[in-house]
Amino acid sequence: MPVIAVVDYEMGNLHSVCKGLEKAGATPNVTYSPKELEQADAIVLPGVGAFDPAVQQLRSRGLEQPIKEAIASGKPFLGICLGLQILFESSAEGTQPGLGIIKGKVRRFRPEADITIPHMGWNQLEITQPKSILWEHLPSDPWVYFVHSYYVDPIDPLIRAATITHGTQTVTAAIAHENLMAVQFHPEKSSNIGLQILSNFVAQVREKIPA
């Protein structure tokens, strides 16, 4: 089974993510070792919490450069929730610079009379990259589970793989570009749809492992 490094920087729901990856047919390895990130077949960057502590933790553990190098090398990479947001240049939630792997900013939902912030619960994806491996074997416009007050706003709209609408605001829910994929929702909390998305990611990892 492919070995997937799950980055441990004390900001993620590691147990649930690992369980989901195991069900999807992978061997998760929770680690903050740059060497183990390099040796893994793929990397998952989960995240729950605030932007500034997250990037500070990554940098204090010397993980920023190994993550950048892994993505640049073509290694399959999946960011989840905060693990999507910290790939961007900056966030309205804090003052620390993000990793800057994706050009753009993280913005806060505008208050509206009929919406809740944080955006919490099930919402329907509007797929904008129908050929992305993330969405294989899924129904059109599937429902997934969210918990967030901030959303990513990439400069390049072509990397958006899906959007959602919350109130009158339509925002990015997933991005995909070559080996780099990341989602704002929690696949590990999204029942069978989420498990299929993780299985799709694991299938891509298998394809890249030399025979």
Give the residue numbers annotated as catalytic, written as ranges. 81, 186, 188
* Count of CB atoms situated within 10 Å of the CB of 74: 11
178: helix, coil or strand? Answer: coil
Residue written as token pair 């570009």: 177
Q: Extract the runs of DSSP E, i.e. beta strands, from the chain.
A: 3-7, 27-31, 42-45, 77-80, 90-91, 104-108, 119-124, 126-127, 143-148, 150-154, 160-166, 169-177, 180-183
Q: Which of 3, 2, 179, 17 is nearest to 87 (CA)?
A: 179
Q: Which of 42, 76, 21, 45 is nearest to 194 (CA)?
A: 21
Distances (CA, A) of 23 to 78, 123, 167: 16, 23, 34
d(CA 117, CA 127): 23
